[in-house]
Each structure stands twice: as C-alpha cells, then as structure tokens.
Amino acid sequence: MATNGDQKQSEAGRHQEVGHKSLLQSDALYQYILETSVYPREPESMKELRELTAKHPWNIMTTSADEGQFLNMLVKLINAKNTMEIGVYTGYSLLATALALPQDGKILAMDINRENYELGRPIIEKAGVAHKIDFKEGPALPVLDELIKDEKNHGSYDFIFVDADKDNYLNYHKRLIDLIKVGGLIGYDNTLWNGSVVAPPDAPLRKYVMYYRDFVLELNKALALDPRIEICMLPVGDGITLCRRIK
C-alpha cells in the first residue's frame, strides 16, 4: 500500500510531466475543480468532443475542460460577436466559443490541418453552431496580412484566441493589435509553457518544450512592455495571457 509520502512524491512527479493540464500544486485540487464545477456543467457536445479528442494521438494539444469553461464564460462576459481563433485542432476551444456567441456571432478559425477539425465538425454541427464558423485551412499569418490590407477589418474583432505555433505569437501580435477593437481581448494560450518559463537552464526539458520556451519568454516580456494593452496572466490550463487593447 502506498504511504502518504509515496503518494505525495508520485503527485509531484506527475506534475513535472509535460502535458499536465494544470499548473496547480495538487492533482487532487485540480480534480476537485473538474468534478465539482466543470464536468457537471459541461455541455453534452463539449463532453462528446472532449471524449473523442482523448482518443486522438495528439490529444496533448487540446484545450482542457476547465479552460473551455473559462473561455465560454469570458466570451459571454464581454458580449463578443466577431471573433477569431488561430489553432483549432479538433475544435474544443472553438466549440466553447461558438456556444457562447449569439446566433449571428462569427468565428474566423484557422489551422494548417483540416483533418483534425473534420473529426470534431460533426459534433459542432450537431450542436447547432457550425453556421458561426468560417474555417480556413492554412497558415494564419498570410490570412492576417490579407485582413490588414482592408481598413474596414481594423478594430473589428471583439475576441481573438491564439493557440497555435508559439514561435509566431509575436508576429501574430503585430497584426492582431490592429484587428482587435479598442476594449477587445486577445488571449494568448500556453504562456506558462508547461512551467518551463521558470525551469533552470539545465532542466531536462523535452525538445519541443525547449525549442518554444525562448519564444514564449520573449512574448511574455514584450506583452508586459506593450503600452497599447493591459494584460492579465492567468494560471488556467497551461497559462493564458489576456490582453485588452486600450489604444
């Protein structure tokens, strides 16, 4: 039988694993949040998509259920109507957003991979929110460049969720700051990057964590210095930094 000490150690070990969906200090506390507040209120369609995604080999990429609940609430709180998502995968955060938007709300959703989106699409359709989604397959940056060319897109987005290639976040920011309206919100996801932002230089990090870490560190510094936004970094999921455009 495991002793209390053993149990604590294995919990600590698990917390160092890449892909753990919470940065909280105890797995039990995280489970408590999921079981008391998230799962009982999770819409059936989101549950179905979460379970489908759990069987996919790249499931480590999905937004966690607690973060999905947070995004859904956030979109409602700010009365968002015109939104954008960069990095869709099977669509869990997309569905969380789509369910929160009014009937005439819109999401421009971009991903280089359509196949994974197609896995989730039947569930999104069944949930009755597919009409809000305009999915574009391909890299997001050229789409943003196109959007920026037309003045009428400037300041036209209420909410933008960025959850794709971390080495491009600053390139996205340069463009998104013109597309988001003053008072609107950009959410940059994974800004605590598996906790690696505070890992010592010799920490044994996985290759991809190591590769993207410097980009995340650079982004975090740049956002903190950017006078055009107010920011708030939350330890939800793998860390999300909310940026509210103020000028």
Binding site for Ca ion (CB under 5 A): 163, 189-190
Q: Which of 116, 190 has the CB closer to Ca ion?
A: 190
Specify which residues 109 forms β-bridges with. Answer: 85, 135
Is 159 a residue that touches ligand SAM (CB under 6 A)? no
Helix orientation angle between 169-179 and 207-225, rounded to the nearest 10 degrees: 40
Cα–Cα distance, 161 to 189 (Å, whole number)? 7
Is 112 a residue that touches ligand SAM (CB under 6 A)? yes
Distances (CA, A) of 131 to 28, 102, 107, 128, 164: 39, 11, 9, 8, 23
Q: Which of 65, 223 has the CB closer to ligand SAM?
A: 65
List the one residue from 45, 65, 80, 111 that touches ligand SAM (CB under 6 A): 111
Determine contact, residues 163/91, Cβ cutoff 8 Å. Answer: no
Dihedral, CA of residue 11, residue 14, residue 15 and residue 20, to nearest 10: -130
Is 107 a residue that touches ligand SAM (CB under 6 A)? no
List the one residue from 87, 105, 184, 195 that touches ligand SAM (CB under 6 A): 87
Is 196 a residue that touches ligand SAM (CB under 6 A)? no
- The CA-to-CA distance between both ends of the chain, in Å, stands at 59
Which range, of 25-33, 60-68, 149-157, 224-232, touches ligand SAM by CB under 6 A? 60-68
Task: Give the phi and the psi of residue 43 in degrees, each rounded to 5.
Answer: -60, 145
Is 77 a residue that touches ligand SAM (CB under 6 A)? no
Is 239 a residue that touches ligand SAM (CB under 6 A)? no
110 binds, among Ca ion, ligand SAM, none (CB under 5 to 8 A by kind): ligand SAM
Is 61 a residue that touches ligand SAM (CB under 6 A)? yes
Q: Phi-psi region for residue 169, left (φ > 0), alpha (ψ -120 to 50) or beta?
A: alpha
Q: Which of 113, 153 has the CB closer to ligand SAM?
A: 113
Residues lying near ligand SAM in the complex (CB under 6 A) are found at 61-63, 86-90, 92-93, 110-113, 116, 139-140, 163-165, 168
